[in-house]
Amino acid sequence: MHAVPITATKRLADYAKVIGDERYEELRTLAKAAKGRTMLHINATAYGGGVAEILQNLVPLLRDVGVDAHWAVLDAPAAFYDITKKIHNALQGMKLDLSDAEKKLFLDVARENAAQLTDADVVLAHDPQAVALRHFAKDPKRASWVWRCHIDLTAAHQPVWEFLRPFVEEHDASIWTMPQFVRPDLKQKVLIQAPTIDPFSVKNQDMPIDEAREVVRKFRVDPARPILLQVSRFDPWKDPLGVIDAYRLVKKEVREVQLVMIGSLADDDPEGQEYLDRTKEHAGGDPDVFLFTNLDGVKDREVNAFQRASEVVIQKSLREGFGLVVAEGLWKGIPVVAGKVGGIVIQIEDGVSGYLVTSSEECAARSLDLLRDPALRKRMAQAGREHVRQNFLITRDLRDQLQLVAPVARASYAGR
Ligand code: UDP
């Protein structure tokens, strides 16, 4: 594994005006108890996807409050990511027979990476890619080990879960986004913590609407015409083809509507290019459908701008761990129409802060409602932003992390 350089600096004091004095003071008290502790986060990629997004912001913030926080990503051959993507798909419900050779490679990578572990009081291993590290750690009892699962395991393919479960259970505790995601056969201390977004990251920080429209115009999208937007890896579970179907239904009624789909090609997602090609094909050369990736220069600032310049954010997932993009849209005051799955349901109260949908037809109908009614858009936007402020800002994650790393709290889950 190798360390991810932490270049950003964050100051907790800046967040006081967003979260209020009481929560700010609570964090300062917790930080005192956690000061000087070391924490190591490990995941599969430094770029692309929700986990990297969280760690980019959380690790600098932990450092600001006195925790000696580090972030490392696994070193692995491409074949490992093919396997872990299959495991990811199986945990979301796809049938999969892992061969002995695949299991062996999965564990070999864990063994090799575990040999490079650095000392820490708490190690947080994220997702299946990092689940077996503790098993191969030289001195696993030196640290408290916590596994954080960002995936919805409700419909997990049991044989694959059986393969992973012993490794999960070796940890002192595991963290899940929602109680429903926890497998009933898991014997372990369980913590429930939903992911969060950083209101001051380049992706989420305030941006004047004129600046956002200027960015959008540079990509030849017309900010004067309505925009539907989905920001997601190109992946079957994010249903990019279904998004295009929904857009087509909207287009029948609102001729000037445009669809923008932004999807980074994450390092650990081998399916990305193939699914981008399929999506392009499905769009069939429609000049009002725009597909962008990080390779087109659409990065955090551009995602921020597109989200702000859109009338409706769509997240038509068929399965979802949490769906950070939903919180990102809501925080920016854009109503979100999203699949009624996974962690999306704790972010959107249907009909209040957005709409939950189960088909392209429904997605189109609710998007039309919003396009036709600016007052409805405004009402939902306000409710959505407040819900994110209360529950899904990074300061909430910081609180949970400080509670994990503070020695007194550790005793309660690590049994020492
Ligand atoms: N993202 C991005 N560019 C893209 C696609 C995604 O910056 O082209 C970001 C997105 O804004 C969000 C994260 O990647 O912060 C995706 O997290 P989410 O939880 O929605 O989905 P995941 O990819 O983890 O399944």
Q: Which residues pair with 191 in a beta bridge?
A: 175
Identify the three-state secondary structure at position 373: coil
pLDDT, position 416: 41
β-pairing verdict for 2-3 and 68-73: antiparallel
Q: Where are the beta strands (DSSP E) in 51-196?
A: 68-73, 122-126, 144-149, 173-176, 190-192
Domain ranges (residues) in the chain: 2-196+393-414, 209-391
Ligand 1: lining residues by beta carbon, under 6 Å: 49-50, 53, 203, 231-233, 262-264, 294, 303, 321-325, 328
pLDDT, position 130: 98
DSSP 8-state secondary structure symbol assigned to residue 6: -
Question: If you take atom 23 of ligand 1, which residue's CA is the nearest one?
Answer: 49
User: By CB neighbour count within 10 A (0-12 exposed, 13-18 middle, 19+ buried), where does 93 fall?
Assistant: middle
| Cα separation, 37 vs 409, whole angstroms | 13
Choose one of 129, 204, 232 to mutate for the ligand 1 pocket test, by most ligand atoms within 8 angstroms of C-beta: 232
Question: If you take atom 17 of ligand 1, which residue's CA is the nearest one?
Answer: 50
CATH T-level assignment (fold) for domain 2-196+393-414: Rossmann fold (3.40.50)
Q: Which two tokens mark 315? A: 């997240």
> Which CATH number is associated with domain 209-391?
3.40.50.2000
Domain 2-196+393-414 identical in fold to domain 209-391: yes
- Phi and psi at 406, nearest 5°, equal -65, 135
3-state SS of 387-411?
HHHHHCEHHHHHHHHHHHHCHHHHH
Q: Please name the amino acid found at residue 221.
A: V
| Cα separation, 95 vs 72, whole angstroms | 31
pLDDT, position 49: 81
Q: Which atom of ligand 1 is nearest to the CA of 237?
A: 25
Q: Which residues contact 148 (CB under 8 A, 6 or more apart)?
A: 124, 125, 126, 127, 174, 175, 193
Q: Which helix (H) or strand (E) holds 19?
A: helix 16-19
What is the chain's pLDDT, residue by residue, as a tens digit (416 residues)? 999 999 989 999 999 999 999 999 999 999 999 999 999 999 999 987 889 999 999 999 999 999 999 999 999 999 999 999 999 999 999 999 999 999 999 999 999 999 999 999 999 999 999 999 999 999 999 999 999 999 999 999 999 999 999 999 999 999 999 999 999 999 999 999 999 999 999 999 999 999 999 999 999 999 999 999 999 989 999 999 999 999 999 999 999 999 999 998 766 777 888 999 999 999 999 999 999 998 899 999 999 999 999 999 999 999 999 999 999 999 999 999 999 999 999 999 999 999 999 999 999 999 999 999 999 999 999 999 999 999 999 999 999 999 999 976 555 666 44
pTM above 0.85, yes or no: yes
Q: Which two tokens mark 135? A: 């098993």
DSSP secondary structure string for all residues of 232-292: --S-GGG-HHHHHHHHHHHHHH-TT-EEEEE----TT-TTHHHHHHHHHHHHTT-TTEEEE
Question: If you take atom 9 of ligand 1, which residue's CA is the nearest one?
Answer: 49
How far is C-alpha 355 from the geometric centre of its chain's CA atoms? 20
| Cα separation, 381 vs 143, whole angstroms | 43
**Ligand 1 centre and the CA of 298: distance in Å?**
12
Question: If you take atom 11 of ligand 1, which residue's CA is the nearest one?
Answer: 325
Q: Which residues contact 193 (CB under 8 A, 6 or more apart)?
A: 148, 175, 176, 177, 397, 400
